[in-house]
Amino acid sequence: MKKYLAMVPLLAGAAFLASVGVSSAEAKYTIGVSNTVQGNGWREEMICAIKAQALASGQVTKLNIAHRNTDAAGQLEDIRNLISAKVNAIVVNPADPAGIKSALEEATKAGIVVVAVDQAVTEPSAYIISNNQEQYAYLGAKWLFQQIGGKGDVVYMRGAAGASADSDRDKGFKKALAEFPDVKVVHEVFTGWQQDQGKQQILDFIATGSPFNGIWTSGIDNVIVDALVESQTPLVPVVGADNAGFVGQLNSVEGLVGAAVTNPGSIGGAGVTLALQILNGKKPAEQTVLVEPQLWENATEEGKAKLKSVADPSLSPEWPVSISIPEWTTYTKDQIIACKGPGE
């Protein structure tokens, strides 16, 4: 017994050290979030990634989420409310790159770290962590044009007019198009990143009877394949994003050739990590951090194996399967699916 008693101070010391260790990583920050598209699978994954990463980091006491369908003026209001709430950092997916500049400037002046995720903003003091949207479109478009033999007619189904992610993707698409002079865009539409709208648009186009050799989509993909199958149109190569539904189709729909380009919604979680790094005094070398996309296709055996390994039928079909980003997110799959933030 005496022997054990002698260990008491040691244990106490260890406990003290442990408590110091815990307190240095203690939750101390409040993070505000502003998002202006509600009810979209990708954005919902982004919000859940933000919640999961805030929880997993252990450094966030509270998340203050302003998440509704609104315009740039509404986002100005939300960001200013977050400034009033005295948050330490704001993670924002901008409704417009220039339209929210004044509020972001006010936030920086108030000492708040501003991180824009998914799309760029014009405010120079804001940090940006985003998927490389230009490369996203270039990779997919180039693959598609090669797949149809370097010539033919393609349908170009874009995102939302005016969104910077859309204009960046347009640059990448045009870059690939310039490399294939015999490829023509027969139809160009904005899906607004809405599943129902995109499906209606492709059905309308199929009804015109115009021939086409391939379809490039800005992530509204599984409903396009559905439309082709339902209208019994010959399947053409389709490029989409890594949404769970589309990845599943690439594995299962007979005769469908296509490619999924990664565009992780978990970028929201990466935004939280970046914001915490800056709050802890570790600023990135560049104001803009880009996450590079990957392309998974089912035209080769190797690609098929990759697609099989990433498929995840347990996810909602509109959720990208890349639910984490190496080096940027630390939460588990259960945490992001639970979609619970600190204190919830």
Q: How far is the CB of 147 from another protein (least distance, A)?
A: 30
Instruction: Compute how many residues bind another protein; rule: CB under 8 A.
Output: 33
Minimum CB distance to another protein smaller for 64 or for 132? 64
Q: Which is nearer to another protein, 192 or 219 (CB)?
A: 192
| Only segment of 4-12, 52-60, 159-167, 217-225 that touches another protein (CB under 8 A) | 159-167
For residue 48, what are the contacts with CB-CB under 8 A and spacing of at least 6?
268, 336, 337, 339
* Shortest reach from residue 71's CB to another protein, in Å: 4
Q: What is the CA radius of gyration of the chain?
A: 23
- Both tokens of residue 61? 């006491």
Contact 93, 35 (CB under 8 A): yes
Distances, alpha carbon 284 to alpha carbons 129, 278, 307, 328, in Å = 10, 8, 33, 13
Binders of another protein among 101-120, rule CB under 8 A?
A: 101-102
> Least distance to another protein from the beta carbon of 87, Å?
9
The strands making up 113-117's β-sheet, listed across from edge to edge, are 60-67, 29-35, 89-92, 113-117, 127-131, 288-291
Q: How far apart are CA 1 and CA 19, in angstroms?
A: 26
Specify burial of residue 338 (Cβ count, 10 A radius: 0-12, 13-18, 19+).
middle
Subset of 45-104 contacting another protein (CB under 8 A): 62-74, 76-78, 80-86, 96, 98-102
CB of 340 vs another protein, minimal distance in Å: 11
String of DSSP letters for 295-328: EEESSSHHHHHHHHHH--TTS-TTSBS----TTT
Q: Does 230 help bind another protein (rule: CB under 8 A)?
A: no
Residue with tokens 């760029």: 120
For residue 221, the minimal CB distance to another protein (Å) is 22
Among 13, 124, 149, 162, binds another protein (CB under 8 A): 162
Closer residue to another protein in complex, CB, 63/274 = 63
* Residues in 187-216 that interact with another protein by CB under 8 A: none
State the nearest-atom distance from the C-beta of 331 to another protein, in Å.
19
Distance of closest approach, residue 319 Cβ to another protein, in angstroms: 17
Asked if residue 154 lies in contact with residue 215, where contact means CB atoms within 8 angstroms, the answer is: yes
Positions in the binding site for another protein (CB under 8 A): 38, 62-74, 76-78, 80-86, 96, 98-102, 161-162, 167
